[in-house]
Amino acid sequence: MQIIPSSMLPERDEGALRQFLQGCRDAARAKGHFQIASISLAVKHIAPLAVLQSIYEPDELHCYIERASDDEAVAAAEAVVQARFDGSDRFASVKAFAQEILEHTIAVGDLSEAFTGPHFFTAFSFDDTVSEGAAFPAATVFLPRWQVSRSNGKYGAVANLKVEADTDIDSLVMRVWGAYRKFGAFDYLPEAALEDVAASPKVESRRELAPGVYPAAVCRALEAIEAGAYEKIVLARGIELEADRPWQPLDTLNRLRERFAGCFTFSFAGGEARSFIGATPERLLQIRNGHLLTEAIAGSAPRGQTAGEDAKYARALLESEKDLHEHVCVRDSILRRLERVGVQGHAEPHPQLLLLANVQHLRTRIQAEVGESVHLLDMLPEMHPTPAVGGSPREQAVPCIAELEQMERGLYAGVVGWFNHLNEGEMIVGIRSALIEGKLARLYAGAGIVKGSDPDKEMRETEMKLRALLDVLAQG
C-alpha cells in the first residue's frame, strides 16, 4: 500500500483532493488495474450507530462493532470491493483477497490514529462450509465505501473509492465533498425520520428450531464423554420468533449497547436484507501495535436479585469443579493453539468473574506479543472455534456438533471483525446473537457440556443466555 502523508491533502482543500485523485487515476492507467483511494479524516464528533441507522440500506453490506465500556465504536457500510469464500482455506482466501487489494491502494491522511486507513470487515460462519441457501456464506469480506469511528474520545471518517482508468474525477471530487459535508455535520434526525417512528414489533409466535432435541443431545454427549470420545462439547439450541411487523435490528442494537456496555454489540449484514446482530462478551482476538489480547470465557451462573444472592452464585461458580474444569479446558486450548503459531501467551493466574446483566462467567485474560511475525488471519484457523463454543479435543468434538444439535449454526458462534494493513484487528465470537430477516428472528444460545453436566441445568442456562436478546428485541 502506498501512503501519502497528510500534508498532501490538507483538510477540505478541494484542489489537493482533485490532485490526489488524478494521481490515483494516473496509477490506474499505468498499472492497468483499478486503484483504491483511501481518504482518512478526523471529524469533530460522530456517532457510528446513529450514522449507520440513518443511512441504512437493506441491500448494502455493513458491519458495526461497539464496546461502550472501551469508548470504541466503528460502523462501515457499502462495499467498494467484496468477496465470499467457502471451505477450510477461507481464512487464507480472505487474507489473500485483502493483500491483493492493498497492493492497489493509495491512502492519504494522518494514519497514526486508530481506525484510519483502509479497514476490511469480515464475518465467518461457525463451520468451514455452509449449506446451499444458507443466510450467510462461510466467509464474507468487504472494504467499505465509508467508515466512521469513535476511539478514546477521537472521531474519524474514512472514504474508500475505486478509481479506474476512465473515472470522471470531477464527479468523484463532488462525491467525496458531499461525504465530508455529511459526516462533518451529520443530520441524525431529519424531519422525515421523526415522522416515521413505528411502534415496536410484538412477538406473535415462538418455536424451537429443533423441537425436543436439546436435552437428548446433552444426554448423548454425556455418554460420549463418559466413553472417552471427547472431554468437552458445546451444544446450542435456537428459537425462532415471528413478530407482527419487521424487526428493527438497529433499534435493538441501541438497547443492547446500553444494557451490555461491557460486551461487543455488533451487526453484520451481507446485503440481502438480513442482519446478524448481538452483544457478545467474548473477544476471540485483538491485535494492536503488535500486542495480542484474547480470553477464555467459560463457566456460567445466574445473576442474583440481591447483592447477597449474586455473591452466593458468584462464589459457587468460582468453586464449582465442573465449571473450573470447563474453563481450564478453554484456557489451555487457547494457550496451546497460540503456541502452534509461534506465539507465547500469558494467562492471568486465576479466572475472574465477568458480570453481565443477565449472567456471570469465569474469564481469564490472555496476552502475548506478536509483532509482525504472524498475520492475524493466519491465527484464526487455529483459534476458531475455541472450546468455549466448539469442544475439546476440537478434532473429535466439533464434527459431532451438527448431528447432535440438528440445526445449522450459520454465523452463530462464528467470527465477526475487522483487520487493517498494519496486522491490527479485532475479531469477536458471534454468541448471544440473532439472525434477523423481516419479521423473523432466530436466536441462539449454547452451553459447555463436560462430565457432571446436568441436561435440565444446561437447558436453563441456554434460556438465561437467550434472555439477553429476548428482553431487548421487542422492547419499545
Ligand X SMILES: C=C(O[C@H]1C=CC=C(C(=O)O)[C@@H]1O)C(=O)O
Q: Which residues bind ligand X (CB under 6 A)?
A: 234, 236, 282, 297-300, 361, 388-389, 431-432, 445-448, 465
Of 279, 269, 256, whose CA–CA distance to 63 is shortest?
Answer: 269
Beta-bridge partner residues of 144: 79
Report in angstroms how near the CB of residue 432 gets to ligand X at its nearest.
Answer: 5
Helix/strand/coil percent split, the chain, to 5 = 35, 35, 30
The sign one gets for the Cα dihedral 453, 455, 458, 460 is negative
Burial of residue 141, with CB atoms counted within 10 A of its CB: 0-12 exposed, 13-18 middle, 19 or more buried: buried
Under a CB-based contact definition with an 8 Å cutoff, are residues 475 and 255 in contact?
yes
Say which amino acid occupies 297.
Answer: I
Pick 148 or 356: Cβ nearer ligand X: 356
Give the residue numbers annotated as catalytic, written as ranges. Answer: 232, 282
Report in angstroms how near the CB of residue 169 gets to ligand X at its nearest.
Answer: 50
Pick 39 or 285: Cβ nearer ligand X: 285
How distant is the alpha carbon of residue 286 from its chain centre? 12
- Say what angle helices 455-473 and 214-226 make with each other, to 10 degrees: 140
Of 368, 299, 375, whose CA–CA distance to 339 is shortest?
Answer: 368
Pick 274 or 465: Cβ nearer ligand X: 465
Q: What is the dihedral of CA 376, 381, 386, 389, to 10 degrees?
A: 110
Pick 274 or 409: Cβ nearer ligand X: 409
Burial of residue 65, with CB atoms counted within 10 A of its CB: 0-12 exposed, 13-18 middle, 19 or more buried: buried
Q: How many residues can be counted in the chain? A: 476
Of 208, 301, 195, 204, whose CA–CA distance to 246 is shortest?
Answer: 204
Pick 74 or 218: Cβ nearer ligand X: 218
Report in angstroms how near the CB of residue 3 gets to ligand X at its nearest.
Answer: 39
Pick 183 or 313: Cβ nearer ligand X: 313
Report in angstroms how near the CB of residue 445 gets to ligand X at its nearest.
Answer: 4
Report in angstroms how near the CB of residue 53 gets to ligand X at its nearest.
Answer: 26
How distant is the alpha carbon of residue 454 from its chain centre? 31
Beta-bridge partner residues of 416: 123, 428
